[in-house]
Structure 1
Amino acid sequence: MPLQTVEPQRLYRQIAEQLRSLIGGGEFAPGTRLPAERDLAKQLGVSRPSVREALIALEVEGWVEIRTGSGVYVLAHSGATVNGAATQVPATEWGPFELLRARRVIEGEIAALAATQARRKDLQTIGEAIAFMQADVARGLAPLEGDRAFHTAIAQASDNVVLLETVQTFWDARHGPLFERLGGHFESQSVWRLAIAEHEAVLAAIKVRDADGARAAMQQHMDKTNARFSASWRRANSSRQPA
C-alpha cells in the first residue's frame, strides 16, 4: 500500500475529534450537558479558546447544541446535514481565535504604517467606511460591508499590495462556518456600536500621524473583539459580531 501524505491537524480539530469519539462511544449520552470549557481545557491541557473553537466545530457538524444561558448539550443525532449531505468544517479552516491573534499582530502594524503614509483620500475612504457602518447599524443591519471597507482602506493606505491582499484573505476567513457560528452566539447592535467606536479611535490616531497610537488602537480593537467572543455562554445573545 503506497504511503499517503500526512497533514498536520489544527489543535481545535484534534480536540473536536476526541470529544466526537467520546460522544460516539457513549461517554456523553444524547441530552447530557458537556463539562464546562474550563474543565475541558484543564483535562485536555489546552487553552479555553481552543476548546471553544472545538465546540463550535462540533455544533456546526451537528454533534452538540450550544444553548444560551445553559451550556453545551449532546444531540441525539450524529451530524447535521445540508441538502442531504453531512456538514463538515473544512480541514483548512483557521480557528476564529487563532485568526484574531494573527490579525492583532499584522493589522496593528498595518495601522501604524497607514498613520505615516495615509493621504487625504485614504482618510476620506476610511471615514466613509465608518459612516457606512453607522448608517447600517441605525437601520438595524449588520454593517459587514462597511467593516470590510474599513479594514481594507487602512491596508490600502499602507501602500503595500501584499499587506492589502493579506487583509482580504483574513476577511474571507472571517466568513468561514466557525467564525460565523461563533459570532452568531455573541453579536448584537450594541456590540457593533462598540466596534464602531473602536474603529473611530484607529482613524483618529491615523489622522494625526500617530503610528504608535494607531497600532495600539487596532490591537485594542482586536483584543476587545476577542474578549467578546470569549464571554460566558450565559451572557451570550443573538445578532452579528464585528471584527
Structure 2
Amino acid sequence: MSLGALRPSPLVEQATDHLREQITSGEWAVGTRLPGETTLAKALGVGRSTVREALRALAGAGLVQARQGSGVFVIADKPHEDWSARLRRAAVTDVYEVRVLVEVEAARLAARRRTEADVTALREALARRRDAGNAGDAEFVRADIALHETVVAAANNPVLTGLFAEFVPVLEQRLLDLVELLDLRSGDPHHGDESHAALVDAVVAGDAEAAARVLRDELEQTLALLRSRPGR
C-alpha cells in the first residue's frame, strides 16, 4: 500500500480524502477489511487519532463500518448523497410537493401556537414583502421566503424550523427561476399579496384550518403551473 505522506493541516480532511479515494477508485473493494489504525497512520504519516477521525468521517458517509472484534470494512464504494445535495439537483416540482407537505402543516401549527412576538414578526415580514414589491426579483423572492420562514417559525417546533431551513437556499434560487420562467410579476409586481395577507390574518386569528387552506391553495396553484410546463 502506498498512500503518500500528508502535508500538515488540515490532516483529518486530507486523511479522509486519501482513504476515500482508495475506496471510490476501487483500490479497496466493497467487503475489504481496511488495514489497522497503526498501519494507516504510518502510511499517511499522521497519528492514530487523525486516522480514527478520518474513519469516523468515512463511516458517516456510509463508506465503511466498524465491526466489533473484526476491524473496519468497506461497505459501499460511493458516499451517501447528503440532503442538501439532493435538494440542489431535485426537480422543482418535487421540491414544491414536499414544500406543500411541510409548510401546510407548519401553518396549521403556527395558528395554534403563535405568540405575540410571532404575530409582530409576521406582520413585519408581510410589510417587508410588500415593500419588496417595488424592488427587483431577487429582493422580492428573499422577502417572500422570509415571510414563509416566519410562518414556519411561529409553529414553534425546532425540528420543523430546522427542516425548512434546509429548503431555503434551494427555494431562493428555484423561486427566482420560477418568477422569471412564469413571468409572475409582469402584471403584478406584488404577486401573491392577497393570499399572503390572508395567510398572516389566519395565523394571527388562530384559525388553523384557514391558514392551512390558504397556504395549500397558494402553493398548489404554483405547482399546477409548473406541471403544465414541459420538462418541469
For this structure pair, what is the TM-score category when the shorter chain's length is used for normalisation? 0.5 to 0.7
Task: Work out which of the residue numbers 144, 160, 171 in structure 2 matches 1:163.
Answer: 160
> For the structure 1 residues 227 and 191, does the alpha-carbon distance in structure 2 shift closer, same or farther, using more than 3 Å as the test?
farther
**SS, match of residue 206 in structure 2:** coil
Instruction: Give how far 1:138 is off.
Output: 2.5
Deviations 1:58-96 (A, max 9, x none): xxxxxxxxxxxxxxxxxxxxxxxxxxxxxxx98952221
2:2 is the alignment partner of 1:5: no
- In structure 1, stretches of 5+ residues that fail to align are 9-88, 234-243
Q: Distance in 2 between matches of 1:195 and 1:115?
A: 20
2:93 is the alignment partner of 1:108: no
Q: Distance in 2 between matches of 1:170 and 1:227?
A: 20
One-letter amino acid matched to 1:229: L
One-letter amino acid matched to 2:78: T
Q: Distance in 2 between matches of 1:91 and 1:143?
A: 22
- In structure 2, stretches of 5+ residues that fail to align are 1-25, 31-76
Alignment correspondent of 1:188: 184
Deviations 1:108-140 (A, max 9, x none): 010011101111221121111111111121345
Task: Give the number of the structure whose alpha-carbon radius of gyration is greater.
Answer: 2
Alignment correspondent of 1:13: none
Alignment correspondent of 1:221: 218
Instruction: Give how far 1:187 is off.
Output: 3.3
Matches within 5 A, 1:1-243: 2-3=29-30, 4-5=77-78, 93-139=89-135, 141=137, 142-176=139-173, 180-189=176-185, 190=187, 193-232=190-229
Percentage of matched positions with identical amino acids: 19
Q: Distance in 1 between matches of 2:178 and 2:203?
A: 31
Q: Distance in 1 between matches of 2:158 and 2:99?
A: 16
One-letter amino acid matched to 2:134: A
Instruction: Give how far 1:211 is off.
Output: 0.7
Q: Distance in 1 between matches of 2:78 and 2:142?
A: 39
Q: Distance in 2 between matches of 1:137 and 1:91?
A: 28
The answer to whether the Cα contact below 8 Å between 1:122 and 1:157 also exists between their aligned partners in 2 is yes
> For the structure 1 residues 192 and 151, does the alpha-carbon distance in structure 2 shift closer, same or farther, using more than 3 Å as the test?
farther
> For the structure 1 residues 160 and 90, does the alpha-carbon distance in structure 2 shift closer, same or farther, using more than 3 Å as the test?
closer
> For the structure 1 residues 170 and 187, does the alpha-carbon distance in structure 2 shift closer, same or farther, using more than 3 Å as the test?
farther
What TM-score do you get using the length of structure 2 for normalisation? 0.56
Aligned pair count reads 152
> For the structure 1 residues 147 and 223, does the alpha-carbon distance in structure 2 shift closer, same or farther, using more than 3 Å as the test?
same
Deviations 1:140-174 (A, max 9, x none): 55412321221111122111111111111111121
The answer to whether the Cα contact below 8 Å between 1:113 and 1:158 also exists between their aligned partners in 2 is yes
> For the structure 1 residues 226 and 207, does the alpha-carbon distance in structure 2 shift closer, same or farther, using more than 3 Å as the test?
same
Q: Distance in 2 between matches of 1:111 and 1:91?
A: 22
Q: What CA RMSD, in Å, does the superposition of the two structures yield over aligned residues? A: 2.8
Tell which deviates more after alignment, 194-203 or 109-118. Answer: 194-203
**SS, match of residue 194 in structure 1:** coil
